[in-house]
Structure 1
Amino acid sequence: MNGSIVVMGVAGCGKSSLGAAIAQAEGLPLVEGDHFHSPASREKMSRGTPLTDEDREGWLATLGEQLRAQPQGIVLTCSALKRRYRDTLRAAAPGLRFAFLEITRDDALARVAGRSSHFFSASLVDSQFATLESPVGEPGVLRLDARLPLEQLQQQASGWLHGQEASA
């Protein structure tokens, strides 16, 4: 595969799990977007305070640097909730593709509430859905049902990356 892919969606949709599965299947490095949040942003989220566009600006610039630094391709996990966030990433890596893990609010809330070792507060799930601008219809976007088994999601994403039709 030549190029990069962002595994995106709201908290609890399975970005990290699918990102790792795609990275392994495609032989690409995995870059966890959460690892690049500032300490101040992590603190805000752990308190249940949503990030602002300004909070995300430096984070997105750093993720863009990660994309530019690895032109052979990477798998990046990033919520990429707004079109302008995705466009920032696209500017860093022309031809960038996105795998959008679509999930319901209730499913996302249940998953986030069940995580014990993550800084993200379950109280932020509603703000994620309020911020989300669906990427469906944008170029280079694959919509995936986050409720499907991980292996099936990875196969759909890998098939799509290699030009095969995905049945999402």
Structure 2
Amino acid sequence: MHSIGAHIYDVATSRKLLTRNRLKYLDDKSCVLCNGAEESVHHLYFICPIARSIWNGIRDWLGLRKIMDSPTTVLNAFQGVYRGNSTLNMMRCAVLSATVYHVWNIKNGVMFDNAKPNVEEIIKAIKIHVFRCIPRSIDFFQPSTRSGLL
């Protein structure tokens, strides 16, 4: 896996993120996105209905078939795409990293700015984030480059 993508994914699936279940001073540990279960890393990224909808949108966008509802299933869905340094592999790594980032970002937006999570807008932000990573030298309109990202 590309080193940046691996780092971001490792951080997201580690037990070091300050999710609400780890903040001792909070009485309310429920997920700020869904107001459901206790917010843990696993819940925030894989169980929360908002996060699951985001992963499903990303899965559909990439044309992946596997369900992504745990760290293992996400890695299985992306398995093999990180072998080699092709542009498509790097872009899929960027998708994974951007998704992890944007889930955390909307969680913070809800907590600190009273933002309202909008799955379609989050997926759009992920796509914009990823497309900004595409080197200008790539002809994105070639079918071999485009497949799997549109």
Q: What is the TM-score normalised by the length of structure 2?
A: 0.30
Structure possessing the higher radius of gyration over alpha carbons? 2
Structure holding more helix per residue: 2
Q: Highest relative contact order (Cα 8 Å, sep 6+), 1 or 2?
A: 1
Structure holding more strand per residue: 1
